[in-house]
Amino acid sequence: MSTLLETIGRLRAEVCALHGELTRYELVVWTAGNVSARVPGHDLMVIKPSGVSYDDLTPESMVVTDLFGTPVNGDPTEGEWGNPALAPSSDTAAHAYVYRHMPEVGGVVHTHSTYATAWAARGEAIPCVLTMMSDEFGGSIPVGPFALIGDDSIGQGIVDTLKDSHSPAVLMQNHGPFTIGKDAKSAVKAAVMCEEVARTVHISRQLGEPLPIDEAAIESLYARYQNVYGQ
């Protein structure tokens, strides 16, 4: 069994590497955006440091916090693991709130990806007009309420919007997408797919009104993809 120190080391490396996927898929610019992961079995999470360039991110620079966003730099029985010189992401409170209130969530991602954020700026859900959306999101991608950064407001909006939805993505109004997953990699996948369908549906609407998919077909496609598809 891995020790807590080993688990945190693995997650810091994983979270650091996943930030490279955000730049690879052009979901972020400059220092915006963040990935976090829950530390299984502990009230801890690993998240990107605030204001650090993507090129300068290392596993050691990933910040460990409790589930209220307070940095935790070690354990009395295992020694130090953190970097007290680095502050966690400005979105840490939102990530932490999600972990406290959605115990099934193991990863959270936030981006300002162009097309998804454009829908968020309109306060408009992305309608389910693609089978890919049925598969990945189980319906439309919903819009969450406008909320100011700095406290639990964004996290509350994420949880309230997603708690009764199949969707692992929410478009926070005037802000941008947040995605969740069973782990950080799953949340990153949801962020990539969210931007892809946001772009495709936007282009479709330039050609005319896209055709909706029947609710029964959406449920059937979602069940197949989630339970049968793949290896």
Is 99 among the catalytic positions? no
Averaged pLDDT score across all residues of the chain: 95
Catalytic residue among 43, 75, 135, 183: 135
Closest CA relative to residue 54, chosen from 23, 79, 13, 12 = 23
Backbone angles phi, psi at 195, to 5 degrees: -65, -40
Catalytic residue among 110, 115, 166, 222: 110
Is 175 among the catalytic positions? yes
Largest CA distance in the chain: 62
Q: How far is Cα of residue 4 from the mean position of the Cα atoms in its chain?
A: 24
Determine which of 49-63, 69-83, 124-138 has the lowest per-residue pLDDT on average. 69-83
Q: What is the CATH number of domain 4-227?
A: 3.40.225.10
Is 43 among the catalytic positions? no
Q: Is the pTM of this model over 0.85?
A: yes
Domain positions in the chain are 4-227
pLDDT digits (tens, 9 = 90+) for 59-107: 999 999 999 999 998 887 777 876 777 999 999 999 999 999 999 999 9
Catalytic residue among 19, 95, 166, 175: 175
Catalytic residue among 25, 112, 183, 202: 112
pLDDT digits (tens, 9 = 90+) for 154-204: 999 999 999 999 999 999 999 999 999 999 999 999 999 999 999 999 999
Is 112 among the catalytic positions? yes
